[in-house]
Structure 1
Amino acid sequence: MMAADLHAALRGLPVAPLAAIAPGAVLVLAPHPDDESLGCGGLIAACCAAGRPPLVAIMTDGAASHPHSRQWPAPRLRARRQREARDAVACLGLAPDRLAFLGLPDAAAPHDGPVFAHIAARLARLATTHGCTTVFAPWRMDPHCDHEATWKMGMAVRDLCGLRLLAYPVWGWLLPPGRDLDHPPPRGMRLDITAHRAAKARAVSMHQSQYGGLITDDPDGFHLPDSLLAALVTDFEVFVHP
């Protein structure tokens, strides 16, 4: 499918209730601190409001976003990004003890091998301990190495635990419209997050190192583009069957 057609198909997926999208306990895999809010902020808030807060695992430390900053070396940035993630999920109603930081290196999450297997087993134990029945991972078409690695982690956890797997797009929304993609017509659902849109926007705004001008001494550092925020902070979130 062409990207423009795929995007239109995603926006046209049927709206389903939370009970159909996340019928039990939920494990959300976020490649970086901020992806939990960008891709699943509404879902997290809805689950919390329903009295069954999800478990959120943040895969990488996010410390590679501003590699040339002298004021924010990796250890300081790593701690900052963890704080931002805690503040963000608090906006969604999630307690800090439902947040797990796995500490993989930003931009170098493994796609296979012993470390991948170790992390997958750790996630499987977390899912089992917390009684999770559905795992949410980034969409396989997201054009970022850590998002792809986290999608593979989601598949591994699914296979280890027999969980249901759904994917959420983040960077995939910005694929050029004319790009031809190896993807069939998508199957999935949309969650109406109108009631939680403001909370999601607040959660995203907590990630000030990525959006908000906190770091000023690395002009080439990462900054969440307005086009991505416009695509993601809307009245719905999309979840795709693998």
Structure 2
Amino acid sequence: MRADAFLAAAEALPVRSLRDLVPAGGIVVVAPHPDDESLGCGGLIAEACAQKIPVRLVVVSDGIGSHPNSKSHPPERLRNLRESETLAAAASLGLSPEHIAFLRLPDRFVPASGPEAEAAAGAIAEAARACGAGALFVTWAHDPHCDHAASAALARRARELLGRGFLGTVSLYAYPVWGWTLPPETEIGEEPRGARLAISHHLRAKAAAIAAHRSQTTDLIADDPQGFRLEPAMLARFARDHEIFLGDLPRRRSLGRLR
């Protein structure tokens, strides 16, 4: 299936509630970079926090690849800035700092295998255990960014490490970020499965979370001509009243006539 057809079909997936996606337990959001959590899962996090569903956020990379030539923001200062922006963004969504882990793997070089990857997958699994997770949410493996694909591999490995627990097998959902920019002719495979989550009640909180990432959305760091900045069209993509999560929804147990 071509990417243009796949993504069009993804935008027509049925609307489901958070508890349709995750019938029990908490959730873990895995973000390759500081800001991916707000772009792809801001509404999800806000909805979970509003429902008092336990949430953990794991930020995989240190984020310093966004402005590699800045003199005003050398690597350590940029890393600290991006982490502080993430904490502010999470606060806008209702998530407390103690529920956020920064793995600080190298931006643009997140490993998908090897000892560092195994340790990162272990950290994601530990976050899942801490909140009794029923699902992990991570960037789509087809996102055309190496760190996004690697983070998807880390989440898959974390689910393997978790095995089958009290709540059964932990579900795994993917959220597209850079996947929306794929060349239309890119072959994806089978048609999408999953659901859309309505987030209209959380649009203001999500917008505030995205805006908190000032280093990525403004000219806050102005001394790197090659520095990254989210384009208006990309920001508009994530200002919609739903978020898309790809994956197999859990089967509902039959309760007969009970309601």
Say yes or no: does 1:91 pair with 2:96: no
Question: 1:5 maps to which residue?
Answer: 5
Contiguous gaps of at least 5 residues in structure 1: none
**Pairing 1:1-242 to 2, within 5 Å after superposition:** 1-23=1-23, 24-162=25-163, 163-177=170-184, 179-241=185-247
Kindly report structure 1 stretches of 4+ aligned residues shifted beyond 4 Å.
Answer: none
Task: Give the residue type in structure 1 aligned to 2:12.
Answer: G
SS of structure 1 residue aligned to 2:28: strand
TM-score, normalised via structure 2 length: 0.90
SS of structure 2 residue aligned to 1:210: helix
| Superimposed CA distance per residue, residues 144-172 of structure 1 (whole angstroms, 9 cap, x where no aligned partner) | 00000000011111111132101111010
Task: Give the residue type in structure 2 aligned to 1:111.
Answer: A
SS of structure 2 residue aligned to 1:134: strand
| Superimposed CA distance per residue, residues 100-154 of structure 1 (whole angstroms, 9 cap, x where no aligned partner) | 1111111110011111111112221221132112101111110000000000011
| Superimposed CA distance per residue, residues 207-227 of structure 1 (whole angstroms, 9 cap, x where no aligned partner) | 001111100001211111222
Alignment: residue pair count: 241
Q: Distance in 1 between matches of 2:228 and 2:54?
A: 30
TM-score, normalised via structure 1 length: 0.97
Contiguous gaps of at least 5 residues in structure 2: 164-169, 249-259
Q: Distance in 1 between matches of 2:26 and 2:115?
A: 28
Task: Give the residue type in structure 1 aligned to 2:126.
Answer: R
| Superimposed CA distance per residue, residues 26-78 of structure 1 (whole angstroms, 9 cap, x where no aligned partner) | 01100000000001000000000001241000000101110111001011000
CA drift at 1:81: 0.3
CA RMSD of aligned residues (A): 1.1
Q: Distance in 2 between matches of 1:18 and 1:123?
A: 21
SS of structure 2 residue aligned to 1:135: strand
Q: Which moved more, 1:4-13 or 1:38-47?
A: 4-13
Q: Distance in 2 between matches of 1:132 and 1:219?
A: 42
CA drift at 1:7: 1.4
Task: Give the residue type in structure 2 aligned to 1:226.
Answer: P
Indicate if the aligned counterparts of 2:55 and 2:131 stay in contact, CA closer than 8 A.
no
Q: Distance in 2 between matches of 1:76 and 1:35?
A: 20
Q: Percent identity?
A: 46
Task: Give the residue type in structure 2 aligned to 1:185.
Answer: E
Q: Distance in 1 between matches of 2:131 and 2:26?
A: 8
Q: Distance in 2 between matches of 1:233 and 1:170?
A: 13
